[in-house]
Amino acid sequence: MSTPSSALAPTASASEGTRYSVLGAISFSHLLNDMMQSLMLAIYPLFKAGLHLNFAQIGLITLTYQITASILQPLVGLYTDRKPHPYSLSIGMGFTFVGLLLLSRADSFPHVLMAAACVGMGSSIFHPESSRVARMASGGQHGLAQSIFQVGGNAGTAIGPLLAAAFIMPYGQGSIAWFSAAALLAMVVLAFVGRWSAHQMRPGKRKPAASQAQAHPPGLVRKTMAVLMALVFSKFFYLASINTYLIFYLQHRFGISVQDGQLHLFIFLAAVAAGTLLGGPIGDRIGRKRVIWASILGVAPFTLALPYASLEVSAFLTAIIGFVLASAFPAMVVYAQELMPGKVGAVSGLFFGLAFGLGGIGAAALGQLADVIGIVGVYKVCAFLPLIGLLATFLPDLQAPPAKPKPAAPAAA
């Protein structure tokens, strides 16, 4: 029988089981982290009106936050693969805490950019290390663990607009500081996660051996990573059009209020959370390549129909788009981890960083495009992005067992 302390000290071995308490803690922290970050997306109309910003400046806010995160995340992941720092999770959350306080007092566009950069730095530390911890606690169910971890973030992203509509929009910019309490709570939870992670790495504790995973030829790795990068581009460039500009699009086309627009954004983000939760375990069962293929290319009919739909149908379509498209990312992250064994933090940092970076570049580029061709025109152009999912046909099936050599034929008598 294991002692209470050993119950909190699993390895990634499937035989020792999945540690749902650790996964739950890291997912809850992810919920709080991304809830705080999504407040920025939901209160863009507040800053646009109060600081007299245009669409290009709104896009630059997202660009600053997401590029800050994307540049640092792969470097943080690579460093923690070589020299893990379990308590860095709480430190990263401290940057988000400071960013929220700055955002609540920002009175100019440069001040908003400074606050966004601080929040981005918090993300750059949180995501690669927490993804690595999730894999440590997976008990061999890597897709399931990645989905549990990611769904917390997506749920937090969905809750953010509702909280913004309920508290920030009625009470003004200063009320953003109230949410810094969530950052303090996350820091406490992550301190316990850090202690569990440190227990895993103590001298004499068995670690999962990367050498047990099959190494893939460098040429195959480069080609496969190029395809994955193209698919990530397709996914997150399209998501940028929804995350940043859905409220403006619905206001322009249907004349709805900001609060109603935030409700539509919540519907979309809630569907994203549901899709994320299912994508990983489905990939564990039927293969990650199939999930990636179906989720990105399969969403194309709905994105093509969205610019021509009514308000009610638009809510239905965005929910389907969010659900189907989101199921790809957990499968992509675990697929890349299997492609490059022993580099969990670096791979996680690369993919989360690329997601943030492409989202930021997409928001800025689409903001510039919206000022030229209009917000409806942006959605007509972005509707074709999921067709890039055709490239998934070039992904090798990494879960296929290697072919066994045929036994030699018996010598003729």
pLDDT tier at 84, thresholds 50, 70, 90: confident
Q: Which two tokens stand for residue 351?
A: 């993919």
Q: Is the pLDDT of residue 189 over 90?
A: yes
| CA separation for the pair 305, 293 (Å, rounded) | 20
Least confident range from 68-82, 171-185, 273-287, 391-405: namely 391-405
Q: Is the pLDDT of residue 145 over 60?
A: yes
Check residue 316 and give its pLDDT: 94
Nearest to 39 by CA among 253, 257, 266: 266
pLDDT tier at 411, thresholds 50, 70, 90: very low
| CA separation for the pair 59, 291 (Å, rounded) | 31
Q: Is the pLDDT of residue 317 over 90?
A: yes
First-to-last alpha carbon distance for the chain, in angstroms, is 58
Q: Is the pLDDT of residue 404 over 50?
A: no
Mean pLDDT for all residues in the chain: 80
Between 218-254 and 258-286, two packed helices, what is the crossing angle to 10 degrees? 150
| CA separation for the pair 327, 325 (Å, rounded) | 6
Q: Is the pLDDT of residue 114 over 80?
A: yes
What is each CA distance from 388 to 71, 96, 114, 305, 384, in whole angstroms?
Answer: 24, 34, 35, 17, 8
Check residue 10 and give its pLDDT: 39
| CA separation for the pair 65, 74 (Å, rounded) | 16
As a three-state string, the secondary structure of 113-181 is HHHHHHHHHHHHHHHHHHHHHHHHCCCCCHHHHHHHHHHHHHHHHHHHHHHHHHHHHHHCHHHHHHHHH
Reduced to 3 states (helix: H, G, I; strand: E, B; else coil), residue 374 is: coil
Higher pLDDT, 212 or 245: 245
Is the domain covering 18-199+217-394 a CATH 1.20.1250.20 domain?
yes
CA angle 394, 343, 140 (to 5 degrees): 85
Check residue 313 and give its pLDDT: 94
Most confident among 261-265, 304-308, 360-364 (mean pLDDT) = 304-308
Check residue 210 and give its pLDDT: 43
| CA separation for the pair 91, 97 (Å, rounded) | 10
Helix locations, 287-310, DSSP H: 288-297, 300-305
pLDDT tier at 243, thresholds 50, 70, 90: confident
Distance from chain centroid for Cα 383: 21
As a three-state string, the secondary structure of 186-230 is HHHHHHHHHHHHHHHCCCCCCCCCHHHCCCCCHHHHHHHHHHHHH
Residues 193, 196, 198, 199: what is their CA dihedral angle, to the nearest 10 degrees?
A: 180
10 Å Cβ neighbour count for 242? 23
Q: Is the pLDDT of residue 77 over 90?
A: no
Of all residues in the chain, the percent with pLDDT exceeding 90 is 16
Q: Is the pLDDT of residue 212 over 60?
A: no
| Residue written as token pair 């189907």 | 324
Q: Is the pLDDT of residue 213 over 90?
A: no
Between 258-286 and 311-326, two packed helices, what is the crossing angle to 10 degrees? 30
Question: What phi-psi label fits residue 17: left (phi over 0), alpha (psi between -120 and 50 degrees) or beta?
Answer: left
| CA separation for the pair 119, 99 (Å, rounded) | 5
Region 204-221: mean pLDDT is 61
Residues contacting residue 97 through CB under 8 Å, at least 6 positions apart: 122, 180, 183, 184, 187
Q: What is the pTM of this model?
A: 0.66
Q: Which two tokens stand for residue 120?
A: 């981005």
Q: Which two tokens stand for residue 281?
A: 């375990």
Region 394-410: mean pLDDT is 57
Q: 99 near 372, Cβ under 8 Å? A: no
Map out the domains of the chain as residue ranges.
18-199+217-394
Reduced to 3 states (helix: H, G, I; strand: E, B; else coil), residue 411 is: coil
Q: Is the pLDDT of residue 28 over 90?
A: yes
Region 7-31: mean pLDDT is 69
pLDDT tier at 74, thresholds 50, 70, 90: confident
Q: Is the pLDDT of residue 298 over 50?
A: yes
| CA separation for the pair 32, 34 (Å, rounded) | 6
Higher pLDDT, 182 or 360: 182
